[in-house]
Amino acid sequence: MAKIIEEVASVDDFLYLRKISGLTPRTQEAAIKGLPNSLY
């Protein structure tokens, strides 16, 4: 069974998930600035 956690991902997790999913990379600075403005 999957567990849903409603919180913003850490910067490291966000960057890792983008990388392994084939999305364009983001800088750590961009992730730090953007994640607090995201829904999850």
The full length of the chain comes to 40
Cα–Cα dist 33/22, whole Å? 21
Model-wide pTM > 0.85: no
pLDDT at residue 40, as a whole number: 65
At which residue do the structure tokens 């990388």 appear?
Answer: 19
pLDDT at residue 6, as a whole number: 87
Give the residue among 9, 39, 3, 5 at the shortest CA–CA distance from 26: 9
Q: Where are the domains of the chain?
A: 9-40
8-state DSSP, 7: S
pLDDT at residue 39, as a whole number: 79
Mean pLDDT, consecutive 10-residue stretches, the chain (40 aa), reads 89 96 96 89
Q: How many angstroms from the chain centroid is the CA of residue 13?
A: 6
